[in-house]
Amino acid sequence: MGSSPSPLCRLASVNLLTEEAVAIIPIAADGRSVVRVSVPRAGRKDRPVYVGSNPLMGTYRRNHAGDYRCSEDEVRRMFADQSDEPADSRILEGFGPDDLHPESLRQFRVRFGAASPSHAWLAEDDPALLQRLGGFRRDRISGKEGLTLAGILMFGREQAIRDPAALPGFHLDYRERLADSPDVRWSDRVTLDGTWEGNLFQFYRRVLTKLGEGPGLRRPFQRDAEGYRRADTAVHEALQEALVNALIHADHAGQGGVVIDRHLDRFEFSNPGTLLLSREQLLRGGVSECRNKSLQKMFQMLGVGDKAGSGIDKIRKSWIEQRWQSPRMVETVKPDRVQLTLPMVSTLPDAAMLELGRRFGPQVATRSGDEVQALVTALEEDFVTNQRLQDMLVLHSVDITRMLQGLVRDGLLRPEGKTRGTRYYLGGSPPDLEPSPPDLEPSPPDLEPSPPDLQDDPHLLELAAPVRASGKAPRELVRATVLGLCEGRFLRLRELGRLLDRSPETLRDSYVSGLVDEGHLELRYPENRSHPDQAYRTRPIERECGP
């Protein structure tokens, strides 16, 4: 008699797979293959995806290392996101005008008037304006009416927002880490400390001023005729958009609240909740999915928080114009959070530009910014691909293909491979340079040098084949493959990238740094983690001897 099937063998609540999601990938010359199943992200309306008849007990979620069963609270949040009724439209029973901060509403009205002087809503009194904005609502079915969660969040008193009937875990935090001394934890901070009325509008006003000034920005915000700060550069507009995105897309009932960290070389915007769209949809733009639609409307009246789904696209364009590294968006679980990082680090470093000038001469100066970016990436990451440039440039893949073909035609790039897997290496040859002085610092003892030509090593190629042949390999497979490649030898990121057909940056951020922190990989230069010749080797497993 057979045993009863595992709960995971039951039918799922929704089938997300298509025929194209399943492929057979050959991994060796002897005919061995693996079956690759690409499971797409479930959309807002399809979540939660569960097995069995009880979603509270049968909802599972992928978390890098494996699947885990979701808690009842996580499942309820998925159902809340699935609803057509926005989270911030909930009517709060027992709340009234005394729970609002009149000065916040007055300041909003003034700012609204500055942005749209002739708007008809400005003629309404405060209760009517609140209703227009979604801060007050009457339910036509139940007849219940009152202030909404959006109204309290935007214009409420902090004590009312944190009431157990509203959002007891509500939190807002802006932290500047600009001091040179490591002993100074924050150089400036805006948090719910009782010195100001802690609602979203007041937080927005205070933080927007601080984001527009300081190191890394070419000039501060300018003031308009009403004395308000206005975003007069693309960077300021991007920072304003990122701030509003964090406030209107947050699950304010989630853990941790909205947190904004400013460092000397980057901004980080973090909010509770999950992405309602896939990362690919966000990068394409044009689709709007907002968790808090009334809050979105309120900020739109101030001229920010575009409803057309172009917020992330606007931020990316602004950063690309500055030739800074591309914005990065990361989604984490337990607790659910989304973090947007905006690095202020040049993608066109002086050393790279100097090397391109020495290699190709004055023609580099005649190329477009996107073309130069492609050349710099090929130089610093050993090669560049169409997919890599899609993450960095605001261009369609077809336009990137034409650009790469033009660089090949002019001898600046050299292609290897075909179709989507084509890699582009720098063309030409570097000019004869004066020999470098001998390395006076001896290499660390008992370290093996990296193999001279990894592409000719059949053992390493066979180890890397399952990942190299897969566009989206499972995380644990990539980690295990990296450890297998680095066993008994030191490999640099670009060498791992060639073997696995992955960008060195992706390998470093998603896999190698974590393996180092967990103690699975050791560094060739442990005293200098950013050493230009840094390489990684798998730590031998230490086994305890028996008695």
The Cα 248–Cα 205 span in angstroms is 15
Quickly name the fold that domain 350-426 has.
Answer: Arc Repressor Mutant, subunit A (1.10.10)
The model's confidence at residue 277, banded by pLDDT at 50, 70 and 90, is: low
Quickly name the fold that domain 172-343 has.
Answer: Heat Shock Protein 90 (3.30.565)
For the chain, domain boundaries: 7-82, 88-161, 172-343, 350-426, 454-538
Nearest CA among 427, 426, 424, 326 for reference residue 384: 424
Predicted confidence at residue 444, as pLDDT, reads 41
DSSP state of 511: I
Q: Could you please report the per-residue DSSP string of 238-301?
A: HHHHHHHHHHHH--TTSSS-EEEEEESSEEEEEEES--SS-HHHHHH------S-HHHHHHHHT
The Cα 173–Cα 257 span in angstroms is 8
Predicted confidence at residue 279, as pLDDT, reads 60
The Cα 535–Cα 503 span in angstroms is 15
**Based on the number of CB atoms within 10 Å of its own CB, is 117 exposed (0-12), middle (13-18) or buried (19 or more)?**
exposed
Is the confidence at residue 257, as pLDDT, over 90?
yes
The model's confidence at residue 63, banded by pLDDT at 50, 70 and 90, is: low
Domain 454-538: which CATH class?
mainly alpha
Higher per-residue pLDDT: 71 or 202: 202
Of 68-72, 119-123, 330-334, 454-458, the range with the lowest mean pLDDT is 454-458
Is the confidence at residue 545, as pLDDT, over 50?
no
Give yes or no on whether 350-426 and 454-538 have one common fold.
yes
What's the mean pLDDT when you consider all of the chain? 81
Q: Count Cβ atoms below 10 Å from residue 385 Cβ, excluding itself.
A: 23
User: 157-166, 260-269, 504-513 — which one is most confidently predicted on average?
Assistant: 157-166
Of 8-22, 426-440, 532-546, the range with the lowest mean pLDDT is 426-440
102-115 vs 126-133: helix axis angle to the nearest 10?
70
DSSP state of 327: P
Of 75-84, 124-133, 346-355, 493-502, the range with the lowest mean pLDDT is 75-84
For 365-424, how does the pLDDT look when each residue is reduced to its tens digit (9 = 90+)?
Answer: 888 888 988 998 888 878 888 888 877 776 777 889 889 999 999 999 999 876 666 889
Indicate the pTM of the whole model.
0.61
For 497-535, how does the pLDDT look when each residue is reduced to its tens digit (9 = 90+)?
Answer: 888 888 887 888 889 988 988 889 999 888 777 676 788
Nearest CA among 430, 525, 473 for reference residue 23: 473
For 464-499, how does the pLDDT look when each residue is reduced to its tens digit (9 = 90+)?
Answer: 888 888 767 888 889 999 999 988 889 989 889 888
Of 74-83, 344-353, 361-370, 441-450, the range with the lowest mean pLDDT is 441-450
Is the confidence at residue 456, as pLDDT, over 60?
no
Nearest CA among 41, 73, 75, 84 for reference residue 277: 41
For 226-256, how does the pLDDT look when each residue is reduced to its tens digit (9 = 90+)?
Answer: 445 555 678 888 899 999 999 999 999 988 9
In sequence order, what are the residues at sequence separation of 6 or more whose Cβ sits closer than 8 angstroms to the Cβ of residue 7?
51, 52, 58
